[in-house]
Every structure is written in C-alpha cells, then in structure tokens.
Amino acid sequence: MIENKRELEKSGEALVIGFDLEWTKNYRVKNGNKPFCFSFVFFEKPLKLTDLEKYFEFGFYSCYCERSEDAQPLIERADELLGKFLRSSMRITIVGHQLSSDIAVIINYAGEKNVPNFIKLRDLWRNRKIATDKERFVEVFDSRYDLDFLSQKSRRLVDVCDECKLVVVQPEIVSSMTKMHNDFCNSGDTKTMEMLSVLNIRHSLSAMILFLLSQRRGKLKKKTNVNKILFDNLKKYFAYVETEAFKKLL
C-alpha cells in the first residue's frame, strides 16, 4: 500500500474533512466491489471563496493499493484515520459526494466489526438532518443530496460542479477505473496510480468546496479552476501534476 500525506497545522476550532473512495466493480458476486484508493482532504474554516485559485492550502492523506490483497489493510488505514478525525478536539464537518455509497462499500467489504469508525460515520450520515445542536460537534454533509439551490436535475459530481462554476476537468479517465487499476496491478505503472490518486483527491476537494458554497447558499460568481488548486498543493507529492498534460489544465 502506498501512502502520501501532507500534514496541516491546525490552529482554529472548525475543520472540514472531505472523503472519497474508489473501488473496482464486480456486480456478479455479493459484495464484489473492492476498494483500492481513498483520500481524506482537510482545511480549516473560515475560508474566503473569492481567491481560491490564488491561495487555498489543504492537508491530505492519500492511500492506494499496490496489490489486490492490500484492500483490507487499505480499509483499516481509512478507519484508523477517520477515528483520528472523530477524536479531534475541533468541531468537524465530514463531507463527501454520495458519501453513503463509499461508506457502504467499505462496511460490506470489511465487515462491521472491522471498521467501527465507519459504522459511526454511517449513523452520522443517516441522522445528519435530525441531530440536535448539542450533537453537532461532528456534522456530515453530502453534496449529492444536501445542496438545495441547484436548478438542473443531474446530481453527478461533475455536473453539480459545472453548475456551481467549479472547473473539474479530469483527463485521467482513459477507460473504466476498474480496468485502469487492474492494469496498474499488472504493470506497476506508477503514472496510472498517480493519475487515479489525483482524480480521487479532486473528488474529495470538489465536494468540500461545494459544502462551503452551501454555507452561503449560492454559486460562485466566476469560474474557479480546481486543478490550479490541486497543482499548488500536490506538485511536491505527485509527479503527475508536473507533467505537461496536467499543466495544460491550468
């Protein structure tokens, strides 16, 4: 398992944490979806939305399976990191896009006893709209279901981002992610691994920005390039973002 991380010094009282999971799909067998990559992306509130491209510093944990048999250690690491966030003394908001699906894949693959923190997160997700103020030290926001100012019907992440003027061009998807990951496992091509890792972090980050927009109940006034934010934060960690192919997105 490959892990990249960037710690962020925490000085405030409120932390926003984005989570996204990627998995290979196999619908022919029960619980056949197998996780291979996840990311936690986090930053402190408050954050101005007017200059996101100029300065938006975030911390992250990104983990990726090098081998098919690494799926269980990957999930255990995700649960460990989630527990670390849940025990934080700061007020936190955990964000994802269709977060319930990511949680379900993890629990179904690992078994409930092996991921106690994702069991807690599942309960928090289910009760996110009915919790009392006293219970809101940990909040959950799902950008698939909880944005209430959108006009178009599609709730795909790319479509929601487009309506909110977030530019999230993702050239990494050259075939299905299942095939790309399987090709990586067979070839060991680190570029493919980095492409999918950056794609995954983009998903986490995009959902977090959508959460910030929900706080002010409105869309951005001008287009914001999420890839520019990724470049500034990830260039020291992933060689892929230094390639000419990625720089064309800036």
- The string of pLDDT tens digits covering residues 47-70 is 777 778 888 899 999 999 998 889
Q: What are phi and psi of 41, to 5 degrees?
A: -120, 135
% of the chain with per-residue pLDDT over 70: 97
pTM of the model: 0.94
**Choice between 219 and 133, residue whose per-residue pLDDT is larger:** 219
pLDDT of 173 reads 83
Band (pLDDT 50/70/90 cuts) for residue 189 is confident
User: Which residues constitute the domain of residue 204?
Assistant: 2-247
pLDDT of 135 reads 57
Mean pLDDT, rounded, of the chain: 89
pLDDT digits (tens, 9 = 90+) for 92-143: 999 999 999 999 999 999 988 899 999 999 999 999 988 655 556 889 999 9
Q: Which of 57, 111, 116, 67 has its CA nearest to residue 87?
A: 116
Which 3 state secondary structure label does DSSP give 23?
Answer: strand
Which 3 state secondary structure label does DSSP give 238?
Answer: coil
**Choice between 223 and 152, residue whose per-residue pLDDT is larger:** 223
Residues 118 and 79 sit within 8 Å (Cβ to Cβ):
yes
Question: CB 16: neighbour CB atoms within 10 A?
Answer: 24
Q: CA 136 → CA 9, 79, 90, 94, 128, distances in Å?
A: 23, 21, 12, 11, 9
pLDDT of 167 reads 92
pLDDT of 144 reads 94
Largest separation between any pair of C-alpha atoms in the chain: 51
Residue 131's Cβ-count burial label (10 Å; 0-12, 13-18, 19+) is middle
Residue 206 in this model has a pLDDT that exceeds 90: yes
pLDDT digits (tens, 9 = 90+) for 7-23: 887 777 789 999 999 99
pLDDT of 9 reads 77
**Choice between 207 and 111, residue whose per-residue pLDDT is larger:** 207
Which residue matches tokens 């999971």? Answer: 21
Q: Could you give the CA distance from residue 101 to residue 178 in angstroms, rounded to a whole number? A: 16
Q: Which of 151, 158, 145, 136 has its CA nearest to residue 211?
A: 145
Number of domains in the chain: 1
Q: Which helix (H) or strand (E) holds 225?
A: strand 224-225
pLDDT of 134 reads 53
Q: Which residues pair with 63 in a beta bridge?
A: 3, 38
Residues 183-218 as b/e (b if ≥16 CB within 10 A, e otherwise) read ebbeeeebebbbbbbbbbbbbbbbbbbbbbbbeeee
pLDDT of 132 reads 59
**CATH code assigned at 69:** 3.30.420
Band (pLDDT 50/70/90 cuts) for residue 218 is confident
% of the chain with per-residue pLDDT over 90: 56
